[in-house]
Amino acid sequence: MQLAGPNGAGKTSLLRIIAGFAAPDEGDIFWREKSITKSYDEFARELLFIGHKTGVNAQLTALENVRFWLQIQGYSNEQDLYPLLASIGLVGLEDVPVRTLSAGQQRRVALLRLWLNDAKLWILDEPFTALDKSGVAFLQDRFTSHLENGGAILLTTHQDLTTHFNDLQTVTLEYRH
């Protein structure tokens, strides 16, 4: 599902409310028929959130960032990450602090998580920002395989999706004063 709307319409705010970081003024968010405010841990186990601020520490290297993320999400940390780094185009850069990488490469470091999780629901805020064309295509391939495995994606983007997704729904928020 794609959230669309002009700048300031509240896309990011809505995503943050759905992810449980902010409380809604009215109403509640339900995941598997349970309110997420009541059973947040259960919801968090099936949620992958990559926001505008990606959660990548600029002082650490790409590899350290990914391993840290795996550990705090409770995934095993022993797997070999190099094939994945190679496929996303970060080989040779895994041992330098992320702050020395370009914006697109930093975004790739954050997006590595998409290949390293078993979450059902992905909430992505502007995932294509700063990515080049091949990066965008690569990411959309990953979206396709996630959807084929029965996952759900909720994202905001200003770019048109180049891949055709069968059951893509677009919700447009309007800017109101």
Partner 1 sequence: MLRKHSYLQLFTAVCKKDLQLAFRQRAEIVNPLLFFLIVITLFPLAIGPEPGLLARMAPGIIWVAALLSTMLGLDKIFRDDFHDGSLEQLIASSYPLPLTVLAKVCAHWVITGLPLVLMTPLFALLLNLDSQSLVATVFTLLLGTPLLSFIGAIGAGLTVGLQKGGILMSLLVLPLYIPVLIFATSAIDTSSMSLDYSGQLAILGAMLVVAVMSAPIAISSALKVSVS
Q: For binding to partner 1 (CB under 8 A), which residues are involved?
A: 16, 19-23, 41, 44-45, 47, 49, 51-60, 64, 68-69, 71-77, 79, 116-118
* Dist. CA 172–CA 90, nearest whole Å: 35
Q: How far is the CB of 145 from partner 1 (least distance, A)?
A: 14
Assess contact for 31 and 19: CB atoms under 8 A.
Answer: no
Question: Closest CB to partner 1 among 44 and 161?
Answer: 44
* Dist. CA 121–CA 106, nearest whole Å: 23
* Dist. CA 45–CA 119, nearest whole Å: 7
Question: Closest CB to partner 1 among 6 and 55?
Answer: 55
Q: How far is the CB of 1 from partner 1 (least distance, A)?
A: 19
Q: How far is the CB of 57 from partner 1 (least distance, A)?
A: 6
Q: Is 98 exposed, middle or buried (0-12, 13-18, 19+ CB in 10 A)?
A: buried
The first and second tokens of residue 63, run together, are: 């590899």
Question: Closest CB to partner 1 among 116 and 161?
Answer: 116
Question: Closest CB to partner 1 among 142 and 165?
Answer: 142
> What residues contact residue 75 under an 8 Å CB cut-off, 6+ apart?
116, 117
Q: How far is the CB of 134 from partner 1 (least distance, A)?
A: 25
Question: Closest CB to partner 1 among 15 and 131?
Answer: 15
* Dist. CA 124–CA 141, nearest whole Å: 15
Q: How far is the CB of 175 from partner 1 (least distance, A)?
A: 22
